[in-house]
Structure 1
């Protein structure tokens, strides 16, 4: 059977099952099994044997243990007053910069991302504090919502990142090196956002009224004290990984211990808090892990059909430049991001995309960061932009207004991607130096 017909059958089956409203994990399983039966003429017994082996092996990967543990750490912090302390700590530091407290969205998300790993959790946690404060102080709600939508996606780029763990497992790339690769690009994007807010506020000062609070050495020092718990947790988690003392999974366990210790020291520890955070972590982790397992089965079906190799050869025959391949993948991810969440996009595309980018001469480590930025873009595109849904609930604006507010920051993500493509060492320098 030709590559075109095989690919069309797989895409048709995906459209059929997912369009019919099937859960994504069950849709992936059904597509894999149907493709094996229809295209490869495998018997049901053989399909069942393959499914058993692939799903069980993918589900027991030690690297995946980092996902629920990091998520538990973030969820514990999410249920404390750390985000309030974060706002209080950052406010005096940014008050005199053009844009004022709008910068707390970007800097708050940058800092919180280093202990969250989740885009929606970062957006919701920081937004619950900053949006009411900015609204009360008559800041431009459009710029506030847009900056939060864009910066909230740092939860995927700045380590520890759940998306990077998923990619690292699927692409067989070092997760510790992926974490290091995302750090400088994450800070670069934060600088781009801060610069944009500063310029827009200088053009129209009414967007960001002057800070009416006191800014003295005492308030700055008090703010640094408020930032101490979250900075210490960042240092413990990331420091243990980059120093080589702990693997990402071990560092996640240390992070959970640190998060529990923070709740005890700040007087917020309670059994209900721990149980609620644990149950929330189990629900979300189970969703992510079952997606990975089901996608591994679909990947096996695709591999049996030799689709990745044939697609790679087909695109190579088109004689596209390496950047042409990136452009095609970018268009694909932007379209997929309108309908799928980031984890689903990753597990569905990595088996085909990684051979393509390796063939084009790109480092899989660099591509991991590129993919995460593509996922960040998907969080800002309707109708399934998760950050947009979160912000719509926080601001009360319509989806159209929220999308328009996020549009400039979507374009800044595009600019950031172009910069990283032109200067890949921004991504590769730190992991190669460690």
Structure 2
């Protein structure tokens, strides 16, 4: 779809502007099922009900929206059609690659996740993602946009630290992804995408400010202030995992010592419990702790206290209305949250010491769903003349 050359103020220009208002309403503000009634569209857009009815009829004939019969013409449900295209979210982590396909509102249609080697090169990773996208994309649909999440600070589409993704060192990810898929692409740090998903559809929905901490192979945070992602001047805001907890502590992959990540990442907990549960996965450690294993419970307690101390600095500075714990560690739930809250109360100022801390309901999928939302929100929806 592209913009028209209609003269400003003309009937054609007004019609196109009104059509765009309806399309953007469907994309940006649709309920969970992706549908509005025509009466709801009229309220959301401020257009007259008769105008909305005419626009819905035109968009339906153009194959851009689908309608389902309801109570009366204006009670019929309206949602974006796959004829308007689809978007894809791609999340590439240290040991996983996940792909999601959605309509242009960001409504999830299908997703798939697979393990990868930590040293997988960027070309091989993008080729695998491309194969997955093509397999999952509904037949006959047009891929409109790619949202790509990468584990590391991203500036102008380039990963600034390759500690977690060594195969992406110095790569212009935006150009490489655009070349691989042949379509528009948006690149974002995975923690920011997790924060976007939590803010839009997760436990932070309804909060205008929140901090989402993603704990997996690394520890990063996405920050939402006044309903907008805060990225910082170079895209590296939220590197919570590299706050120094003890300058004489363990050596971190970033080259510093005693970073929060060395105490709270999945690998840190596995190392801490290695003597008692050698080779245990996070799932197995969580199960052991839930069953009463003292060592496993202590590992989560220690990690949580360290994390709470780091979060105290964040809430003192930013005063978010909520903190979300996500990533792989979210599955530990109250095993870690209880001590996170304790650490926060010990080190935060009284006005913010009771900041709510909750586990993500999206878990390891948050960054993937965020990449899908990013793709949808970056897709232009304009009509042909």
Check whether TM > 0.5: no
More strand by share: 2
**Relative contact order (alpha carbons < 8 A, sep ≥ 6): 1 or 2 greater?**
1
Give the structure-1-normalised TM-score. 0.21
TM-score for both structures, normalised by structure 2: 0.23
Larger helix proportion of the pair: 1
